[in-house]
Amino acid sequence: MPNELANESANSSVQSPFCGALRSKKFFMMDTLATDASQYLDASNHCWCRETQQVLGPDGGRVNPNRCVPGRACYTSALESV
């Protein structure tokens, strides 16, 4: 039984509200993981993907805190990136 639990936890990852590749100017001023889109966005509303270094993610879609969430093909948990 303990072996089954170990395999289950290894296969399931904890998801965060936002992708670990989501970046913005405000991101670099945070000392914790963002829990709200407003923590990423400043007056410019400019974000980019760490993987592509562009405003488009690896899947070709626009980068935005409301779009870079669990379920998107290129999403990776910010908890895994820490």
Domain boundaries, given as residue ranges, for the chain: 26-82
pLDDT tier, 12 (very low <50, low <70, confident <90, very high otherwise):
low
**Cα(32)–Cα(52) distance, rounded to whole angstroms?**
23
Mean pLDDT of the chain: 84
**pLDDT (0 to 100) of residue 14:** 67
| pTM: predicted TM-score of the whole model, two decimal places | 0.77
Count of CA atoms in the C-beta half-sphere (13 A) of 53: 0
Residue matched to tokens 């270094």: 53
pLDDT tier, 13 (very low <50, low <70, confident <90, very high otherwise):
low
Segment 30-67, tens digit of pLDDT: 888 888 999 999 999 999 999 999 999 999 999 999 99
**Cα(32)–Cα(38) distance, rounded to whole angstroms?**
14
